Amino acid sequence: MIAQETIDRVRAHTAIVALIGETVKLQKRGRSHQGLCPFHKEKTPSFHVNEERGFYHCFGCAAHGDAFRFLMELEGLSFVEAIRRLAERAGITIVEHHDEQQKREELEVRRRQEELYAVGNVAAEYFERMLREHSLGRHAQRELEKRGLRTDDPTDPIADALQAFRIGYAPYAWDGLANHLRDAGMSHRAAEQVGLLVPRKSGSGHYDRFRHRLMFAVIDLQGRVIAFSGRALPDPDDAELRALSLERVGSSTPGEEPAKYVNSPESPIYKKREAVFGLYQARSAVREAGMAVLVEGNFDVVSLHARGIKNVVAPLGTAFTPEQARLVKRFAPNVTLLFDGDSAGRRAVVASREPCKQAGLSAKVATLPQGTDPDDLSRTQGAEAVRRVVGAARGLLEYSIESALDSFVGTDAHARAAKLKEVTELIAAEDDPAVRALAEQHADRVAGRLGMGDARTFRALRSSVLAGMGGARPPGSVQAPTPERARSSAGRTEVEQVIFGALLDYPELLGDDEVLAGADLVEGDIAGAIAALRQSCKDGPLQNPELVLAKLGPSIHPFASARLAAPRHERVEDAKSELLQNIAKLKRLELKRQRSEVVRELQHAASVGDADQEMALLREHMRRARERHGL
């Protein structure tokens, strides 16, 4: 474990403007530097870097963080790798909390891990060479040719794609790779660990896991080979085998077709839930487009990439997971699901909703024609047809509602109520209020599909569900505030946010008694945010904005991130003046709120004829007024 003192020292000795300036052209603007965001495509600069806080924020895509985060996002490094890179840059020796035994153990772990990466790279080189040189490699070449991915022109974009994805051929033999690894001085034990070799059941030695397959290398964000996926090929005939003096290799149970794909098992360097096929190759295009296109298969990724659609990735041997979604989110805030048009593809789309939601990915769904996959569409109709389909994508919530309605058949009242409940729960579970409101506008269509002519608004739909529940209010629901109270609440929040913004610009104002007394009037998430800021600055100036952000509620987090990178006030006097003005506004709003409460209570007492309560309320109101005026 790297000592916290070392991490703090590396952070303090890293000039974030100089670091980011190596990638982004920055210009001084007020207390920050500004430039074009490296994480998404934009024409007008919205990327701000603040040297004094060591923090950046993009107003376009909301990317933000410190120097460590910048390297992690830009180059796909882990936190520890980013620390080591910046420490080396600053000439700082890494200090770790380990005794000598622990250090030796960690070095051994690293050595073994590097050995696994090395084995994967040697295997990838071998498969690539076999595609070009092995006599039976023509079977793999024909498979590529069928999909329009064969070329002898090294300048052709298709050749670039095959090289980028390290496409190769695993020879038709029991031990072709095993022998090559032995000759290259590579460990069979390491090859077994990453699933390239399998120990023989009888006797000693190993045999190849992948035999007579078209090979796709799985590459991590540092460009290292971590696994493989092998696609089955037609068996060679007896004449071909005799010509090469090869015996027939069994790859499956007699009478059964071999598995279409064989993927590497999990290993110390490969966890399939955490790997996204093609993300290394697509990362720059995903950033530039601000969106990743998620497809189902290896060939879909390679085929679209070869035809110029390069922001395409796929899960590998698993449904889309939250871990994969978070990895994609590091490069873009949006994803378009381009799954096959069959029932399995539709189920995969619906199942992707929760991972996208957990990762904070904004998801859309592009609908392919029935029985068509992205590879088919790009081959038969070209890249523009794929772009049109992706461009016509609709929201994931809308798609989920349509899928739910498509499965409704019959006129049974119980079935209709169950389906109605499913749809309303889909809408209620949506976190984004804009998306939820848009879905609610289609309530008439939902009602029509369910044969309910008397429920043409979302409120009516929800009432129908409540009626089915015996009129009970759903757990956790509250009565909507009146328009007047909603406007008052919004005005108060706006004033409180201005106060918090001024404090973010100059946290030292929290040491001013007048400011501190006024800040105590702030409520809710912003009150918690002010407390977190005060706690982070109790020992001096704000050094690590990430620690502050980690303590904030989700509602205030985006505002705080933006303000930390791009302070609005250049002088502390201006920040204090604005702050005190808004504290005065807050006091007036609080007074108005208290008066409104008294009026409502008096009206209620008068309506029920309770004179004693009315008189008590008047006395309490007068007492509060005397206190306010110091009487």
pLDDT for the residue 629: 46
d(CA 539, CA 359) in angstroms, rounded, equals 34
Parallel, antiparallel or unpaired: strands 291-294 and 276-277: unpaired
CATH number of 108-250+257-270: 3.90.980.10
Within 8 A by CB and 6+ apart from 289, the residues are: 40, 41, 311, 332
- The token pair at 311 is 């922001």
Reported in sequence order, the residue ranges of 245-366 that DSSP labels E, i.e. its strands, are 261-263, 276-277, 291-294, 312-315, 334-337, 362-365
Q: What residue spans of 322-369 are helical by DSSP H? A: 322-329, 343-351, 353-359
pLDDT for the residue 419: 66
**Angle, vertex CA 125, rays to CA 215 and CA 133, nearest 5:** 80
Q: Which residue in 235, 70, 221, 266 sits closest to 139, CA to CA?
A: 235
Q: pTM here?
A: 0.65
d(CA 362, CA 398) in angstroms, rounded, equals 13
Walking along the chain (631 residues) 10 residues at a time, the average pLDDT comes out as: 84 92 92 91 91 92 92 86 91 74 77 93 97 94 91 82 95 93 95 95 88 96 93 90 79 62 94 94 88 93 94 89 90 88 80 88 88 88 93 84 66 67 69 59 60 53 50 43 52 84 89 81 82 79 80 83 90 90 84 71 64 67 58 43
Which three-class secondary structure state does DSSP give residue 504?
Answer: helix
Within 8 A by CB and 6+ apart from 410, the residues are: none
The answer to whether 503 touches 569, Cβ cutoff 8 Å, is: no
> End-to-end alpha-carbon separation of the chain, Å?
62
Within 8 A by CB and 6+ apart from 604, the residues are: none
Within 8 A by CB and 6+ apart from 198, the residues are: 192, 206, 207, 208, 209
Phi-psi region of 274 (alpha: psi -120 to 50; beta: other; left: phi over 0): alpha
- The token pair at 605 is 């007492």
pLDDT for the residue 178: 96
Question: Which amino acid is located at 558 in the chain?
Answer: P
Question: Which amino acid is located at 57 in the chain?
Answer: H
C-alpha distances out from residue 548 to 154, 386, 413, 469, 507, Å: 52, 43, 53, 44, 12
pLDDT for the residue 481: 47
Q: What is the DSSP string of 464-488?
A: HHHHHTTTPPPTT--PPPPHHHHHH
| Domain extents in the chain | 4-90, 108-250+257-270, 273-340+355-390, 408-468, 483-625
d(CA 576, CA 572) in angstroms, rounded, equals 6
Residue 302's Cβ-count burial label (10 Å; 0-12, 13-18, 19+) is: buried
Q: Which residue in 265, 256, 180 sits closest to 218, CA to CA?
A: 265
The answer to whether 305 touches 278, Cβ cutoff 8 Å, is: yes
pLDDT for the residue 250: 60
Q: Which residue in 549, 497, 506 sits closest to 524, CA to CA?
A: 497
- HSE at residue 603, side-chain half, CA atoms within 13 A, is 6
In CATH, what is the architecture of 273-340+355-390?
Answer: 3-Layer(aba) Sandwich (3.40)
d(CA 151, CA 134) in angstroms, rounded, equals 17
**Angle, vertex CA 272, rays to CA 266 and CA 275, nearest 5:** 125
Parallel, antiparallel or unpaired: strands 47-50 and 32-35: antiparallel
pLDDT for the residue 442: 57
Only one residue has tokens 């008189």, namely 615
pLDDT for the residue 98: 61
The answer to whether 518 touches 494, Cβ cutoff 8 Å, is: no
The DSSP code for 509 is G
Residue 168 pairs in a beta bridge with: 215
Fold entry, domain 4-90: DNA Primase; Chain A (3.90.580)
Candidates 1.10.3470, 1.10.860, 1.20.120, 3.40.50; CATH matching 483-625: 1.10.860
Q: What residue spans of 195-266 are helical by DSSP H? A: 238-243
